A and B are shown apart, each in its own frame.
Chain A
């Protein structure tokens, strides 16, 4: 009679089988990992970011296994990364030495090195392309008449403003042991290395919503920031092992970077200067890097002595709630049985009602 809540073992087994059946029941061809990697690359890039593990093959595998549920795929990748040993911390990457695929500035019309549009949905018309419904051939593309990107120096555009001291300096105050959010419990007030890591791993939707709230009016000054520069390209990763004493390159990764120029700060004693926000992600995640740069600027509010009025400026609000692996876990835990606690509430509400109803009779 109370079988419904018991007999978990059998139920779990059947549930897992049904899940597998859901993926296979119509007998379509199994998707290859490579197909996911190449043809769903934006999904793959989102999962390596929020899964915080730069491995596009495993990301594609996670997407396949989770049947396209990206938050679930992110969770799979996170759980896997826990088991990996940590050999070294890389040195800070240098994003001025980049094989550039895309680079734009909204603040300057022309920039040294040029604006490079690269692959973007920005100017595509969002019309469904029905020809894709039947695209049988193996994908190949005609070589677009396009110079192969050469490894070049692309120094940060907005640093030109530094020559006139118009822009706040990014001070390199990283110590040798950067905060590691995957190893250290959260600390408040949070340090910038701490929050940049959390934002890089944070849920894109949450950060997008927060950044939108700030530029719509729930932000420190309610003003409009300027995109100083957006870059997407490939950079080298270096480590500097103690026993070697010099840097060695261990590979390359794709990154998206956004430098946002924000409202100036200043007072009678300090001449006004633009402030800045910075966003960096793995892979091609431009929208997210922009969102991060706005949240980063807002989280600096406390340091500038600005009044903390809005959610986006509140370190605990932003940093405790940005992680979708934590968020999805805790929200969905409401599905777990709570009948012991609910029984307590039932008993209480009956008792309280009885007391009041009987009191009225008297």
Chain B
């Protein structure tokens, strides 16, 4: 099938440049590697970094899954899948276990990923210190010197004001005992999945033109204090569709009186779980 574009949209020289940056990023886990990000036909902030990483590593044999907020059929995930269908003509799946390549925004699938899979995160802001120090010139120095007092003080201040760290998403992690890394706006519920993950984790920030990586089997630790250990979210309710008590739940308002229900955010997990329980 002719698409009118090079396979996966980007020209081969650009893909090679991006793959070299990915290799560098893998060699220095958690380090934000600048790359010559290109303008894509999708808007900045809508996954252009992830799309460029995916486009650079995708092959004809790959089976692609794209999720947004854990779901395969949210509009932006559909739009990204349509883009790759158009410029790659490859297989697309909703099944986490079937996919060789998973591009995600804001979630890590509940199903454990394996060593033959790669997960590509869309990154809005790669710099975990940006809210504490707006200048890139300064934050690069702070990383180079492993000078992370700013971040620890921030977490400490939250504990002293609220009794606990109040970051519920994009909860900062330390990668391989070295770089503080932004896990992207995934809920902190997903942070433990990053630790020692068998799959390769790649992160693409299009607007900010950064790529970073966490190689398989790398230690990823959510920042905490001995007397205030890191905790993930829990729910009193279970999924109203599949009954799961172990998955991340979304709250939905089901009538005008504001009655709530809870359902799995990971639609593929919910479906499989329902089938299993039948």
Contact = CB atoms under 8 A, between A and B. Distances in A.
Interface string A323-348: 00110111111001111110111111
Nearest to B163: A355
Interface in A170-188: 182-186, 188
B34 A1 contact: no
A347 B41 contact: no
A333 B38 contact: no
Interface string A306-334: 00000000001000100001101111110
B147 interface: no
Nearest to B168: A344
A326 to B, nearest CB: 5
A358 interface: no
A333 B45 contact: yes
A341 B250 contact: no
A2 interface: yes
B157 interface: no
Given A85-B11, A329-B46, A340-B265, A5 B39 contact: no
Contacts of B78: 8-9, 12
Taking chain A's interface residues, is the majority helix, strand, or loop, or is none over half, making it mixed? helix
B136 A339 contact: no
Contact of B45 (A11, A183, A330, A340): A330
A325 B187 contact: no
A31 interface: no
A328 B48 CA distance: 13
Contacts, number: 144
A311 to B, nearest CB: 12
Contacts of A232: none
A333 B124 contact: yes
A345 B8 CA distance: 37
Interface string B48-71: 100000000000000000001111
A329 to B, nearest CB: 3
A316 B130 CA distance: 13
B178 interface: no
Nearest to B70: A340
B134 interface: yes
A298 B170 CA distance: 36
B262 to A, nearest CB: 9
A12 B249 contact: no
Q: Which 6 A-B pairs have the closest CB atoms?
A: A329-B44, A344-B168, A333-B45, A329-B43, A330-B45, A185-B34
20 contacts: A6-B267, A8-B74, A8-B77, A79-B41, A83-B5, A182-B38, A186-B34, A320-B136, A325-B39, A326-B44, A328-B44, A329-B44, A329-B46, A331-B45, A333-B44, A337-B74, A343-B187, A343-B251, A348-B166, A352-B163
Interface of A: 1-2, 5-9, 11-12, 75, 78-79, 81-83, 85, 182-186, 188-189, 316, 320, 325-326, 328-333, 336-341, 343-348, 352, 355
Given A332-B45, A341-B185, 12 more contacts: A12-B79, A81-B39, A83-B6, A83-B9, A316-B134, A328-B43, A330-B207, A332-B46, A333-B46, A340-B169, A344-B168, A352-B162
